Every structure is written in structure tokens, then in C-alpha cells.
Chain A
Amino acid sequence: MEEKNSPVLRVKDLRKTIRGQAIVERISFEIQRGEKFGFLGPNGAGKTTTIRMLVDLIKPTGGTVEICGYDVQRRPEQALRHVGCIVENPEAYSYMTGRENLEHFARMADGVSRERIQEVAEIVKLQERIDDKVKTYSLGMRQRLGIAQALLARPKLLILDEPTNGLDPKGIKELRAFVHRLAEEGISLLISSHMLSEVQMLCERVLIMDRGRMIATGKIDELIQGAPRYVYWRFDSLEAGAAELGRDPRISLRSGPAAESHPADTIAADMPEEIIADTVDRLSACGIGIKAVYQTEPTLEELFLALTGSESLD
């Protein structure tokens, strides 16, 4: 039954309707062996519902999910043995120790030895606290215990839902290194996030979702190239600066306020990189005080604008 060349995960026309409301509409994608796949979308886009359908927590209204060639609906026992997952928060029995938790889930899989439990504890660097009660763990440690649990049965696909939620920068850095190491070992990853920068760091290919629909799928770098890279300007006088900037035909100003991460008096301009220096000179010559000029990677919101042509996410 299990084809050698079949993708690790194949999702076809997946749909879910709850009480007449379409939560997820016709999602299709594939994840190949060793691939790091991102699942991108704002909160409420249907990412978690889709992930829950992948691991048999929610029955789809239509469509199929195949893991290593096995249909999750019809043959859950065969399909799910190839998947490790953390859906939303990393959960564990807080009244048990880390090791007891791992032993508990080891009994629910085939052929997980004591040595393997020790091994996964070491992989996530939890070996020193593994015999402490989980209620004494920090969120980062719970996260690592969750990953250890997911890795127990040597899955071919690891699903992490918003894995950086609640992690500090150090934790995020560790997670990133960890994800790359796992991918090198041949595990496929599905990582969901609402932050473009995060998915960009962790994944090669993405699927972008909004309001239950697939908006785009493809290599993340290519998608980002399609999005405008805005140059952000801050002036002593907003109106004078904007008027002077707009005089150059190669510069188009973005209407409306800039993204939330920028101060309110920032102007976003779509313009070629090469003319930034010249423009600074020109504006200075006109006596316009420039407080700052900078360029950033596009945000998810900007990528959305480029992909959908709509004005905002909602």
C-alpha cells in the first residue's frame, strides 16, 4: 500500500463546514519528504481547523488527507503512526513527570523502547529535568516536551501549530536550529504561523490562507519577490515631505497609514532601491528635514496586499 514515491502528505480538496458556515474551503497541497512547509495566514484563517483535519481530530466535510499513502479517515491507525504533532499549545499531564508523559505516549505507539525515550529527551535537551513533574516546567520546556513526544515514534511528518507562540527570542532561535536539524535528518515539517518573518526563516515552501481559502502556494522567496518592498520615510514635516517625494514619477506613495509596526508619521513609498540616495539629496536640497529612511522585509499584510490586490486583511 505504501508507495515509495508518494508524498509524505497529500491534501486534496479539503473542506469543512460547521453549522452551514464554511470554515475551510477546497485546500489542496502536498509535502514531499524532507520538505519544510509553511502554513501562513492571519488568526482565524482556518489554519488550525485544517491541521486538526490532517490528524483526524476533525472529520472533513469533503476532500481527502493521505499520509504516506494512507487515508487518515479510513485507515487512521496506519496513517497516524507516521505523524507527530503539536496542535496549538503543547499539552502534557501536569501531574506526571516528563518521563511518565513520554512513557504514556510510547505505550500508544509501536516499538518505542526505553532507550528511545531517553534519546528524544536528549534531542530536546530535557534530560536533566525529565524526572520532574510537568507542573514545574516553564512554557519553553513544555514546548520541548511536546516535541519530544511528537518525535517518539520516529515520524515522517512533524506538524507544529504556531510553535513560537509564547517563546522568548532565545527559545525561538533554538527552535529554528532544531527545525533545520530535523529537516536534515529527513523529517518533513508542517509549520503554521501568522508571522511571515517566522515562516520565512523556517520554511521553503508556503501555503497562504485567508478566511478558509487558499490564496497562494509556492516557494516563499518567489512569493516575496512579487511583493513590493516599501521604503519608509519619516520627515520633520509630513505634508511637505510627501509632496516633494511624489514629484518623482518613479516613486508611488502608498495611500493610507503604514503598517502597524511603523510610527504613525511614516510614509511608505514604492520605489526602486537605486534612487534612494539621489532622492535623499534632492529632498535635503529643498530644505526638507529627514528623520529616517529605511527599508524592511515585507510583512504578511503587505504580501497579502500584493497577492490579493485588496486594501487590507479584513
Chain B
Amino acid sequence: MIKLAALVQNETLKLWLKKRFIVIVLILLILIPVFTYAEHKVVSNHAEHFADWRNQILQQIADMENTLSSDRIPEEWKRDRRIAVQQLQYYLDHDINPSEPSGVQFTREFLGNSITLFIPMLVLAIGTDIVSGERTSGTIKMLLTRPVKRWKVLLSKLCALTLYVSLTIAVTVILCYLISGFVFGYGGWSAPILTGFKIEGSAIDSSSVHAVPQWRFLLMQAGLCWFSAMTVAALGLMVSVLIRSTAASLVTMMSAIIAGTILSSMSSSWASAKYLFSVNLKLTGYLEGTPPPIEGMTLPFSLSVLAIWGALGLIVSFRVFTKGDILN
């Protein structure tokens, strides 16, 4: 019996030697300082104008309410802003600063913003050629003529992929904290963050709102990020099995994900779009209490949709990989 661990070691080693992970770390090392600087500019700008954060929130609320009276703003935007106003008011009422600048706060915002596009892109950078690359180079023939069952080969690839997805999210969080903390300070672990907003139409049900320390919020965010990243990885694996060309697999997956972001921002009246996986990727939105892209979507709903898509992706991958003829 060939041990699965040895196969996973092979796949992990190959991904490592292809220098994919190093590229990801480099991208993060370039992007995070850029965003940190931008955030720093915003923070110092606010600090100049407002001595107290409460004044700043009041100003934000006033600005949004002004735009609400305008006729030129679409109804969906108004709805989103009404919700945002209610949330800010809630923070104000409970005397909690929603964005006390700190390393942890920056990391939290970064994760929330990167879950729909940036992290899926990093996952695809690692995983899209995990099978198609072996086909292109012809090494798939060596891999599948060894005395190892095909499903074990694919499972080892999935394990290696899972490992790198987890590592990517961990490294994103760690680098974010370390780099932004240099500017904003390394504190903010225990700052209270409100979660549990329930959105009903344009109103907020705040009955189940409660404060959690920011570190817990960050941990929940990271977990949700991992979940949506794994869904992307599973679908990426399927596309990599089905499409021989690596470039074509990458384009296919990226278009699917970008299409989801566009559909979400259209906040469309096309309700059945909520069953598409890429519309459901922004799981962290449920924690923050931002309105879902399509009405009626909830965290359990999105988790189930992603789980079903991911499972289907894996079933197709394994079926095709174990049964298909290697003709090239």
C-alpha cells in the first residue's frame, strides 16, 4: 500500500517548487503596504477634521441622510444607505467606535474586502494548473502508470490544495496584522465589534445584535474566508480536470467569479441568481451586517449553496479523473 501521506508530500513539494506560494507572499507584501498607506491617509484626514470619533460618525450619518432625499439615487442604494445609517446609529447609541484604527481593525477590513475577488484569485493562482499542468507537461502519464489508484492521486492533490489554501489565509492575516500594525499599532484585539444585525427589507432587526471582541470577529471572518476559498478551490480543481489548457481553466474560473461580483453589485431583481456560487462568496458580509446581494439570502443559505457547489465540483473531478482515458 502506498501511503497517502507520501503522495500528499509529493504534491505539496511540487506546488512549493513551482514557487506559487512565494509569488503569493510577494503579492501580499506589495499590496498590503499600499492599502495600509491609503488607510493611513484616510485616518489622518479624519483626525484633522474631527477631534472625537463621535463627531465623525454623526457627519457620516448626516451625509448619507442628505443623499437619501435626492431623487437621482437608485432605490437599492437608498436601501443600503438606510441600513448603514441605522447601523452607525446603533454603534453611536452604544458608544462603540466601529473603526478604531489598529492593526487588527485593518486586518478585519482587508479580509472583508478581499473575500470575493482577491483571495479567490490567490487560490486559483495556486490551484488551476494542479491537474491541467500535469497534462500539458505530459507528466500525468508517469503519475497514472505508477501502482497507485487514480482517486488517491487526485485526493493527494486536493489535500495539498487544502493545505495551501489554509496557509494562504493564515499568511494573509499575519502579514496584514504585522504590516498595518507598524502604522496603526498592534493593539485592538479586544475592541468590541457588533454582529448579528438582521436585515428585513430596509430595516434592521437589532434584537440579536451583540458585541464580540475583535479577535473573535477576525477568527470568524478567517473561517468564513477559508470556506469560500475552499469552494473556489474545489471548483478550480474540477475545471483543471475538465479543461486541458491551464490558461483556459484560469479564464473560466475568473470569469465565473467576476460574473458573481457583477451580479451581486447589480443587486438584481433576478432572484434565482442567488443559487450561483459566486454570488454567495461574500460570507463575511453576514457578520458585518451589510445587506446581502439578493434579498432572502442568509448565512446558512450561502453556506449550503457553497457546500453543494463544492461537493458537486469534487464529485465531477473524481469521476472524470478516475474514469477518463489519457489520450494526449
Binary contact readout B66-87 vs A (1 if CB under 8 angstroms, 0 otherwise)? 0000000000000000000000
Partner of A55, one of B6, B13, B145, B325: B145
Q: How large, as a class, is the contact surface on chain B?
A: 20 to 34
Chain A residues with CB under 8 Å of B314's CB are none
Partner of A108, one of B7, B14, B18, B323: B7
Complexed CA–CA distance, A77 and B323 (Å) = 16
Interface residues of A in 85-143 (CB under 8 A from B): 85, 87-89, 91-96, 100, 104-105, 107-110
Interface residues of A in 60-87 (CB under 8 A from B): 76-81, 83, 85, 87
Complexed CA–CA distance, A96 and B2 (Å) = 22
The answer to whether the Cβ of A180 comes within 8 Å of any Cβ in the partner chain is: no
Chain A residues with CB under 8 Å of B143's CB are 108
- Minimum C-beta distance from B75 to chain A (A): 54
Judge whether B17 and A96 touch: CB under 8 Å: yes
Complexed CA–CA distance, A109 and B1 (Å) = 9
Interface residues of B in 1-59 (CB under 8 A from A): 1-2, 6-7, 9-10, 13-14, 17-19
The answer to whether the Cβ of A188 comes within 8 Å of any Cβ in the partner chain is: no
Chain B residues with CB under 8 Å of A100's CB are 13, 17
Complexed CA–CA distance, A56 and B327 (Å) = 11
Q: Using known A-B contacts A94-B137, A96-B17, determine if residue A104 contacts B10 with beta carbons closer than 8 Å.
A: yes
Judge whether A87 and B325 touch: CB under 8 Å: no
Complexed CA–CA distance, A79 and B145 (Å) = 10
Chain B residues with CB under 8 Å of A105's CB are 142, 146
The answer to whether the Cβ of B296 comes within 8 Å of any Cβ in the partner chain is: no
Judge whether B327 and A59 touch: CB under 8 Å: no
Interface residues of A in 223-250 (CB under 8 A from B): none
- Minimum C-beta distance from B326 to chain A (A): 4
The answer to whether the Cβ of A58 comes within 8 Å of any Cβ in the partner chain is: yes
Chain B residues with CB under 8 Å of A93's CB are 14, 17, 137, 139
Partner of B7, one of A78, A81, A107: A107
- Minimum C-beta distance from A143 to chain B (A): 13
Judge whether B325 and A58 touch: CB under 8 Å: yes
Judge whether B2 and A109 touch: CB under 8 Å: yes
Q: Using known A-B contacts A92-B139, A93-B139, A95-B18, determine if residue A107 contacts B144 with beta carbons closer than 8 Å.
A: no
- Minimum C-beta distance from B14 to chain A (A): 7
The answer to whether the Cβ of B148 comes within 8 Å of any Cβ in the partner chain is: yes
Chain A residues with CB under 8 Å of B13's CB are 100, 104
The answer to whether the Cβ of A149 comes within 8 Å of any Cβ in the partner chain is: yes
A96 nearest CB neighbor, chain B only: B17
Judge whether A107 and B9 touch: CB under 8 Å: yes
Judge whether A108 and B139 touch: CB under 8 Å: no
B145 nearest CB neighbor, chain A only: A55
Judge whether A149 and B142 touch: CB under 8 Å: yes
Judge whether A76 and B149 touch: CB under 8 Å: yes
Q: Using known A-B contacts A88-B138, A91-B141, determine if residue A78 contacts B9 with beta carbons closer than 8 Å.
A: no
- Minimum C-beta distance from A216 to chain B (A): 27
Judge whether B141 and A58 touch: CB under 8 Å: no
Judge whether A57 and B147 touch: CB under 8 Å: no
Chain B residues with CB under 8 Å of A176's CB are none
Complexed CA–CA distance, A78 and B1 (Å) = 10
Complexed CA–CA distance, A151 and B1 (Å) = 19
Judge whether B147 and A109 touch: CB under 8 Å: yes
The answer to whether the Cβ of A52 comes within 8 Å of any Cβ in the partner chain is: yes
Complexed CA–CA distance, A89 and B136 (Å) = 12
Complexed CA–CA distance, A76 and B152 (Å) = 13
Chain B residues with CB under 8 Å of A79's CB are 147
Binary contact readout B145-161 vs A (1 if CB under 8 angstroms, 0 otherwise)? 11111000000000000
Judge whether A107 and B145 touch: CB under 8 Å: no
B9 nearest CB neighbor, chain A only: A107
Complexed CA–CA distance, A110 and B327 (Å) = 27
Complexed CA–CA distance, A55 and B323 (Å) = 14
B326 nearest CB neighbor, chain A only: A57
Chain B residues with CB under 8 Å of A104's CB are 10, 13-14
B137 nearest CB neighbor, chain A only: A91
Complexed CA–CA distance, A95 and B14 (Å) = 9
Q: Using known A-B contacts A52-B326, A104-B13, A108-B7, determine if residue A87 contacts B18 with beta carbons closer than 8 Å.
A: no
A-B contact pairs, 5 of them (CB 8 A): A52-B325, A77-B2, A100-B13, A100-B17, A108-B143
Residues of B near any A CB (own CB < 8 A): 1-2, 6-7, 9-10, 13-14, 17-19, 137-139, 141-149, 323, 325-327
